[in-house]
Structure 1
């Protein structure tokens, strides 16, 4: 485990408190509100996970979808409210990027409504060619997410 300022970071799936993570995402996040427990379970089972613990309690999580060779999508970055402002999100994402770079991954993508500065410190920048990207987005919450993005700037 990696440690910093009384926090411990783990990539061991046994350290993932899926009950807590599902609560965070389905109730407290803007991007996964209403996500079904079964969907959270499948998403985390098919991803790489970085968890942050404090006194044995799960306080933050980052999920990465990757092929482990060419591409990684950083998603579901969440820090419990009482632990925000301590750089935990940036720490998790930086460690995830470093770990995957060590495996040869060279391209990373993430989406955020309001944490651009946090991720810029890790090296992320706006898409150089957004016109090349296309999507299919069937999420029932898509309109609310896009409205929140528009409201945030």
Structure 2
């Protein structure tokens, strides 16, 4: 059976409790973090969700970090500014598709 998903950046669509559960219990890199820590990270990011069209269940979550003043710090960890993207930065790695022009 093929599933169809819709993507949303509407904060009202995010099932915060479910996302906090996924991250604090299942993601090796975030396991054990408090709900307060996750909520603070979500509040400082642009959040995206993927939702099953038929059931409405949230099946995925991602967040993008926006920074006005920490570019030097993030560049030390492999992030690069995007062309004509204001204050957004991006970090490339295997599996992310072709790198956009600089």
TM exceeds 0.5? Answer: yes
1-side partners of 2:47 and 2:14: how far apart?
Answer: 8
1-side partners of 2:65 and 2:88: how far apart?
Answer: 14
Cα shift readout 1:58-90 (whole Å, capped 9, x = no counterpart): 11011111137x96x7xxxxxxxxxxxxxxxxx
SS of the aligned residue for 1:34 comes to: coil
2-side partners of 1:12 and 1:101: how far apart?
Answer: 25
User: Which runs of no fewer than 5 residues in structure 2 stay unpaired?
Assistant: 75-81
Q: How many residues align?
A: 87
Q: Give TM-score, length-normalised by structure 1.
A: 0.48
Match of 1:12 in 2: 10
Higher relative contact order (CA 8 A, sep 6+): 2
User: Which runs of no fewer than 5 residues in structure 1 stay unpaired?
Assistant: 74-99, 111-115, 125-153
Match of 2:29 in 1: 31
Higher helix share: 1
Q: Give TM-score, length-normalised by structure 2.
A: 0.69
Match of 1:47 in 2: 45
CA RMSD of aligned residues (A): 3.0
